Chain A
């Protein structure tokens, strides 16, 4: 059992923050590596972030509509 964090990725020089549009999984859901977990929007794009590992969603650490900085931990998956 290990904890794997999903962080807000670097999305280019100009982008320092993004808005959380929607979580596509709830706490307790099973996810496979590469499965989409959360939709985010930067000023330029809307995109889905994928699970970095297979396991169970342990925590969702930010709220929908929240603006978060690059590097922020968004979710934790227990493998």
Chain B
């Protein structure tokens, strides 16, 4: 079995290599345009690992994962019965791939058919065909098929480590009898997020504080082929002299790290089997350093400038397939004729598979719809999947928790009998609104888990969760290390496995520390999986104030720029509660921006913040003050200076209609266009730097959509394109009421000789020339 599986991988990879280099393979002539990070030489590592794993064990691979994917699939097919295979194949894509395989690659046995299903599913995916495992939306580096336990491969080096760790987190939460495997290369030991994942998987709290004691069942399987791109890991680009030694720095048991002969499938299977046992006992995580050699280049553009022909030839002498085949023959397990027959069968099968997958009649490309927006419609699930499990039992009676008792005594509205705003200690605040929505989800949906750097005893960096730790055990709300990348990547992995994590990044400024995880992983898997996976993660991040250049930035525009994330930025307690409820219910990832200046904000617009759970749809802006002369569209906390400006301008007979955007993505323009059609003038106010801000996008689109109604070009008033200064200078940075008044009177209404009272007296054209 191992020999044949290795031969299948070698034949597949050789076929792809041939297409890339010669434009043909066997009977097929085809120009394959996509990437080809081939694993010729690494077959024993992939096959050995898969032999020791069950279909319920999940692997998360790298960019070089054709072999790992095929090995896992072949091993799963081997273990699954005919009925299970039929059910799996029928269920995938309404059976379209199965029909194709049945028609063009018929087999006598269900297992033979399943192998063709696996091979065509992967190859058609690489060729961007609709019957590919991920509808052609993933391609070579992202293909996966979860029923065989093959979870997403990843084009970003090391990214699978954190996602696999999150999968392990959810497997532990559910008490499953299986493990998650992060399959990355030796080069990934140079990636910070991999170290964050290693640490996260072995956090002491799993053993010391959690009721279900035991570390995360994650195997960090490093396929060590000695090179990371053109750099040699051992001896050049890494400080370690042996990869397995990195475990020694993590814990006294060194995460059970071992170096394994990755040219021998049985050695690898033995090691993985032993580590799997350790993991299922809760004594992981574990590290395997699996040494093998990549005969093929990094990719097909690699000219092997970094290694010699002698080196490649020396490793060729211990080619894993020939070595293993020879050992089977010399031990009398297999005779040469039988081995040759296996090779012939594999080659013939592969030829037929390549022909079928490349044929546009058999495997047509995805249909993009008559409007061409077919891929766009794959970006979001747009659905909600309510919990069907029982509501989790809280640790204590919620009505006895101090925070909840205090909130019960508070006024639901934000004004006293005279219409004056109440103290935040006497009325429900934006912080309370967020808390109530999250509390409801936590108490009714066992899939909800909450973590971040200070979420338990501290109650979140700004007290949103205060009281939650009295109700929920450690596996529902816990403190994470200062590892933003791991916080987000583990949330993604847990969500892929069925959890609904709510994670906190203390400050929006820390988005940079989780850049890949937010922008390449969280944002993309819904679409890259062709909707097979959803990533229902809520990421909360506060937007700071008074803490200067690295703790006070509104980066909502940065998040809005990357397709695939829903983004909300509530400014009132009522909106915060209702939008958070929508975020928690959504099957899509949602980034929640929360202004620190507004945590104590009481409700000034509606009579009250409803006590029960309710949802406000993401994407709907809200008129906060009706008016007739100028539309002011605010993002986040700029609602409040805009209201002050409205009062100032009312004295001059100018009436502002103030619309609170509330959401950035999605965004329904209808209300804004209606307002602008009435007023003919639009000011957009944001605390983000003006250049590249989301307000600029809104302004540009409104200009197109309502051009005929405009009396003046829309004006964006944001923060200037320089650092946020410290507390005492903030008033000259974030837009203030006088700045809003100035912009309206001069830029939108053309009032001659207006005496500016705001601080913005600079020349925007001159600043732009200076890069400002």
Query: Is the CB of B462 closer than 8 A to any CB of chain A?
Result: yes
Query: In the complex, are the beta carbons of B466 and A44 less than 8 A apart?
Result: yes
A44-B425 CB under 8 A given contacts A13-B546, A19-B406: no
Q: What is the bound-complex CA distance between A67 and B422, given in angstroms?
A: 12
Distance of B408 from chain A, by nearest CB (Å): 12
Q: Which residues of A contact B402 (CB under 8 A)?
A: 21, 39, 41, 46
Distance of B424 from chain A, by nearest CB (Å): 5
Contact of B426 among A18, A42, A46, A67 (CB under 8 A): A67
Query: Is the CB of B463 closer than 8 A to any CB of chain A?
Result: yes
Q: 4 closest A-B pairs (Cβ-Cβ)? A: A44-B463, A19-B425, A67-B425, A43-B424
Query: In the complex, are the beta carbons of B406 and A41 less than 8 A apart?
Result: yes
Query: In the complex, are the beta carbons of B599 and A43 less than 8 A apart?
Result: yes
Q: What is the bound-complex CA distance between A41 and B462, given in angstroms?
A: 13
Query: Is the CB of A63 closer than 8 A to any CB of chain B?
Result: no
Q: Which of B587-602 contact A (CB under 8 A)?
A: 599-600
The proximity string for A residues 6-48 relative to B, scoring 1 for CB distances below 8 Å and 0 otherwise, is 0000000110011101000000000000000001011111100
Q: Which of B391-415 contact A (CB under 8 A)?
A: 402-403, 406, 409
Query: In the complex, are the beta carbons of B406 and A67 less than 8 A apart?
Result: no
Query: Is the CB of B10 closer than 8 A to any CB of chain A?
Result: no
Q: What is the bound-complex CA distance between A43 and B429, given in angstroms?
A: 9
Query: Is the CB of B431 closer than 8 A to any CB of chain A?
Result: yes
Q: Which residues of B contact A14 (CB under 8 A)?
A: 600
Query: In the complex, are the beta carbons of B406 and A17 less than 8 A apart?
Result: no
The proximity string for B residues 456-467 relative to A, scoring 1 for CB distances below 8 Å and 0 otherwise, is 000100110011
Query: Is the CB of B423 closer than 8 A to any CB of chain A?
Result: yes
Q: Which residues of A contact B431 (CB under 8 A)?
A: 43-44
Query: Is the CB of A65 closer than 8 A to any CB of chain B?
Result: yes
Q: Which residues of A contact B600 (CB under 8 A)?
A: 14, 43
Q: Which residues of B contact A17 (CB under 8 A)?
A: 423, 425
Distance of B343 from chain A, by nearest CB (Å): 69
- Sample (10) of A-B pairs whose CB atoms are under 8 Å apart: A17-B423, A17-B425, A21-B406, A39-B402, A41-B402, A43-B424, A43-B599, A44-B462, A46-B466, A46-B467
Q: Which residues of B contact A13 (CB under 8 A)?
A: 546, 727
Distance of B673 from chain A, by nearest CB (Å): 38
Q: Which residues of A contact B462 (CB under 8 A)?
A: 44
Query: In the complex, are the beta carbons of A45 and B459 less than 8 A apart?
Result: yes
Query: In the complex, are the beta carbons of B403 and A46 less than 8 A apart?
Result: yes
Q: How large is the interface on A (under 10, 10 to 19, 20 to 34, 35 or more residues)?
A: 10 to 19
Distance of A21 from chain B, by nearest CB (Å): 6
Q: Which residues of A contact B423 (CB under 8 A)?
A: 17, 67
Q: What is the bound-complex CA distance between A41 and B425, given in angstroms?
A: 8
Q: What is the bound-complex CA distance between A45 and B454, given in angstroms?
A: 13
Q: What is the bound-complex CA distance between A41 and B402, given in angstroms?
A: 9
Q: What is the bound-complex CA distance between A42 and B466, given in angstroms?
A: 11
Distance of B99 from chain A, by nearest CB (Å): 60
List residues of chain B with CB under 8 Å of any chain A CB: 402-403, 406, 409, 423-426, 429, 431, 459, 462-463, 466-467, 546, 599-600, 727
Q: Which residue of A lies closest to B458 (CB)?
A: A45
Q: What is the bound-complex CA distance between A59 and B207, given in angstroms?
A: 47
Q: Which residues of A contact B429 (CB under 8 A)?
A: 43
Distance of A65 from chain B, by nearest CB (Å): 7
Distance of A19 from chain B, by nearest CB (Å): 5
Q: Which residues of B contact A42 (CB under 8 A)?
A: 425
Q: Which residues of A contact B424 (CB under 8 A)?
A: 43
Query: In the complex, are the beta carbons of B409 and A65 less than 8 A apart?
Result: yes
Q: Which residues of B contact A65 (CB under 8 A)?
A: 409
Q: Which residues of B contact A39 (CB under 8 A)?
A: 402
Q: Which residues of A contact B406 (CB under 8 A)?
A: 19, 21, 41
Q: What is the bound-complex CA distance between A43 and B462, given in angstroms?
A: 9
Q: Which residue of A lies closest to B403 (CB)?
A: A46
Query: In the complex, are the beta carbons of A45 and B426 less than 8 A apart?
Result: no
Q: What is the bound-complex CA distance between A14 and B597, given in angstroms?
A: 9
Q: What is the bound-complex CA distance between A19 and B600, given in angstroms?
A: 14
- Most B CB contacts (10 A, CB to CB) among A39, A41, A44 go to A44
Q: Which residues of A contact B403 (CB under 8 A)?
A: 46
Distance of B406 from chain A, by nearest CB (Å): 6
Q: What is the bound-complex CA distance between A32 and B406, given in angstroms?
A: 29
Q: Which residue of B lies closest to A16 (CB)?
A: B423
Q: Which residue of A lies closest to B596 (CB)?
A: A14
Q: Which residue of B lies closest to A15 (CB)?
A: B600
Query: In the complex, are the beta carbons of A43 and B546 less than 8 A apart?
Result: no
Distance of B565 from chain A, by nearest CB (Å): 28
Q: Knowing that A43-B600, A67-B426 are A-B contacts, what are 19 other residue pairs whose CB atoms are under 8 Å apart, sorted by A's residue number?
A: A13-B727, A17-B423, A18-B425, A21-B402, A39-B402, A41-B406, A42-B425, A43-B424, A43-B429, A43-B431, A43-B599, A44-B462, A44-B463, A44-B599, A45-B459, A46-B466, A65-B409, A67-B423, A67-B425
Distance of B462 from chain A, by nearest CB (Å): 6
Q: What is the bound-complex CA distance between A45 and B426, given in angstroms?
A: 15
Q: Which residues of A contact B727 (CB under 8 A)?
A: 13
Q: Which residues of A contact B546 (CB under 8 A)?
A: 13
- Most B CB contacts (10 A, CB to CB) among A18, A21, A46 go to A46
Query: In the complex, are the beta carbons of A45 and B463 less than 8 A apart?
Result: yes
Q: Which residues of A contact B466 (CB under 8 A)?
A: 44-46
Query: In the complex, are the beta carbons of B459 and A43 less than 8 A apart?
Result: no
Q: What is the bound-complex CA distance between A15 and B172, given in angstroms?
A: 40
Q: What is the bound-complex CA distance between A44 and B402, given in angstroms?
A: 13
Q: Which residue of B lies closest to A19 (CB)?
A: B425
Q: Which residues of B contact A21 (CB under 8 A)?
A: 402, 406
Q: Which residue of A lies closest to B467 (CB)?
A: A46
Q: Which residue of B lies closest to A66 (CB)?
A: B425
Q: Which residue of B lies closest to A13 (CB)?
A: B546
Q: Which residue of A lies closest to B409 (CB)?
A: A65
Distance of A67 from chain B, by nearest CB (Å): 5
Distance of A71 from chain B, by nearest CB (Å): 16
Query: In the complex, are the beta carbons of A43 and B426 less than 8 A apart?
Result: no
- Most B CB contacts (10 A, CB to CB) among A41, A43, A45 go to A43
Distance of B540 from chain A, by nearest CB (Å): 15
Distance of A47 from chain B, by nearest CB (Å): 11
Query: In the complex, are the beta carbons of B409 and A43 less than 8 A apart?
Result: no
Q: Which residues of B contact A43 (CB under 8 A)?
A: 424-425, 429, 431, 463, 599-600
Q: Which residues of B contact A44 (CB under 8 A)?
A: 431, 459, 462-463, 466, 599
